[in-house]
């Protein structure tokens, strides 16, 4: 069959989505361009340029990019701040490579992004996974406890660095300052993946910023919560503990030698946007969000609206159905959420300023319409139960990177996988938190959670054969 080279499948798929006039409760933070000035919407193609005279060079900033990064550093109060065009993934990996060497121990919050584990693998460092606390009432992971950190540090006093995720994908925070202070007492470099908190710099009513709490390296996904293009992120160096030269070297290695000027321009825009948010803008945001929550709360007796520590995150749950089922219903009405799990759908709300608007009333109307349809369950039944057991404060991988290199691999059935050692990373996405890590022993709880994801047809990344009910293990 002759291939039609005139087709543009990706552009066609994007156009089909855009034609639905969807309402965005997901990333990126510009909300389908609603938070971009009209004059700037036509900016990008004409300005998709390269390192021309006067346009500077991301890998050796001397002019405009240097000045833009200096403004970013001033806004966040960092020692040094950098634009990232390959996402927070590049920032996380560069931070890890710059902070530890082969064989050194890195302490990692277990509900970390997959890029953290990939960075540790590239560094050939030794990960120790600090278990996260579980909010039984909220049915979600939170952070790590000071008790767990102290127990882990006692077992691994020579740890070189730690990687903490603050806030969680759901917008939950924890006592980060106490953890950073504890790590610093032991000389541990604190890398904070604050992907979902670039707006915390605004202060109350938002949680405290990781830089203000003492983070040594802090990474922000500007595109998630601010009006920046996808892949646009920030990396900040917060202290003298960090080898700035190494960070810059690894960023140069990891990032494209042809960085996108539209992405960098959007980062400049996002920084300026955040810097000019006023107290009145924040009050207006909170008032509008309160009105939206009130409107949602009266829609259906089975609908629950849960706030998180970040005012720009809302969790919706519906009696009698899982979050995945609720997500599918909402998408049928043009409401696209950031993620779903067994209990919730996550809405990411816009950080609005004077002169911008967001269709909250229209969204509430669509949600009312979908939940008022015949056949939508009321209060009977509950969502699937999360499988959680009390675990020790930390776990180690069953194999080192060197041992993994030497082992044979085998694909085994899910039914016989418990107790085996995973040879692949398996990651539900979003949120991008690995369920299985190479070298990790597969537990009963992990298998139960994996089956839940599969039953709910969640998107799962990784080199797997889950469609054949098989996973890869080491022998």
Q: Is 268:68 a contact under the CB 8 Å cutoff?
A: yes
Residue 137 CB burial class (10 angstroms; 0-12, 13-18, ≥19):
exposed
Nearest to 211 by CA among 227, 234, 229: 234
- CATH number, span 397-474: 3.90.105.10
Q: How far from chain centre, in Å, is Cα 446?
A: 21
Alpha-carbon distance 34 to 359, whole Å? 10
Q: What is the pLDDT of residue 380?
A: 37
Give the pairing type, strands 409-413 and 470-474.
antiparallel
Confidence (pLDDT) at 381: 40
Given a contact cutoff of 8 angstroms between Cβ atoms, the answer to whether 438 and 400 are in contact is no
CATH 1.10.260.40 describes domain 279-372: no
For residue 215, the model assigns a pLDDT of 99
Q: Look at residue 273 in the predicted model and tell me its pLDDT.
A: 93
Name the stretches of the chain with pLDDT < 50: 379-383
Q: Which fold has domain 9-276?
A: 3.40.640
Confidence at residue 385, expressed as pLDDT on a 0 to 100 scale: 55
- How far is residue 377's CA from residue 321's CA, in Å, rounded to a whole number? 7
- How far is it, in rounded angstroms, from Cα 29 to Cα 345? 17
pLDDT computed for residue 392 by the predictor = 81
Q: In a 10 Å sphere around its CB, with 0-12 CB exposed, 13-18 middle and 19+ buried, how is residue 240 labelled?
A: exposed
Domain boundaries, the chain: 9-276, 279-372, 397-474
């Amino acid at each position: 069959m002759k291939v039609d080279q005139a087709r543009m499948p990706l552009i066609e798929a994007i156009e089909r989505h855009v034609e639905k006039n969807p309402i965005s409760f997901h990333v990126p933070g510009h909300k389908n361009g609603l938070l971009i000035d009209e004059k700037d919407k036509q900016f990008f193609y004409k300005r998709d340029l390269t390192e021309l005279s006067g346009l500077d060079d991301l890998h050796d900033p001397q002019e405009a990019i240097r000045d833009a990064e200096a403004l970013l550093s001033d806004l966040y109060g960092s020692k040094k701040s950098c634009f990232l065009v390959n996402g927070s993934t590049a920032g996380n990996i560069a931070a890890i490579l710059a902070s530890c060497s082969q064989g050194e121990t890195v302490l990692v919050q277990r509900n970390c992004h997959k890029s953290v584990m990939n960075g540790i693998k590239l560094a050939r460092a030794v990960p120790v996974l600090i278990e996260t606390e579980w909010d039984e009432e909220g049915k979600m992971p939170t952070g790590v406890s000071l008790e767990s950190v102290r127990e882990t540090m006692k077992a691994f006093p020579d740890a070189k660095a730690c990687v903490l995720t603050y806030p969680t994908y759901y917008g939950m925070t924890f006592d980060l300052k106490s953890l950073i202070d504890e790590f610093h007492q032991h000389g541990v470099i604190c890398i904070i993946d604050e992907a979902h908190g670039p707006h915390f710099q605004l202060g109350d009513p938002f949680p405290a910023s990781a830089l203000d709490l003492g983070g040594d390296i802090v990474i922000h996904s500007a595109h998630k919560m601010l009006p920046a293009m996808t892949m646009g992120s920030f990396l900040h160096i917060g202290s003298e503990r960090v080898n700035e030269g190494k960070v810059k070297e690894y960023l140069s290695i990891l990032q494209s030698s042809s960085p996108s000027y539209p992405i960098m321009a959007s980062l400049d825009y996002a920084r300026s946007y955040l810097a000019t948010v006023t107290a009145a803008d924040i009050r207006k945001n909170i008032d509008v969000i309160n009105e939206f929550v009130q409107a949602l709360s009266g829609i259906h007796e089975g609908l629950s609206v849960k706030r998180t520590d970040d005012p720009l995150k809302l969790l919706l749950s519906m009696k009698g159905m899982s979050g995945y089922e609720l997500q599918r219903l909402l998408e049928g009405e043009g409401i696209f959420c950031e993620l779903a799990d067994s209990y919730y759908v996550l809405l990411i709300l816009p950080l609005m300023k004077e002169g911008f608007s967001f269709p909250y009333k229209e969204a509430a109307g669509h949600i009312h319409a979908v939940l008022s349809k015949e056949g939508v369950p009321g209060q009977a039944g509950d969502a699937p139960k999360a499988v959680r057991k009390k675990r020790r404060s930390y776990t180690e991988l069953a194999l080192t990177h060197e041992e993994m290199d030497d082992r044979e691999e085998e694909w085994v059935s899910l039914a016989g996988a418990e107790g085996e050692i995973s040879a692949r990373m398996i990651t539900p996405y979003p949120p991008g938190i690995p369920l299985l890590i190479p070298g990790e022993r597969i537990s009963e709880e992990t298998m139960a959670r994996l089956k839940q994801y599969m039953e709910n047809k969640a998107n799962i990344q990784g080199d797997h054969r889950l469609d054949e009910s098989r996973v890869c293990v080491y022998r």
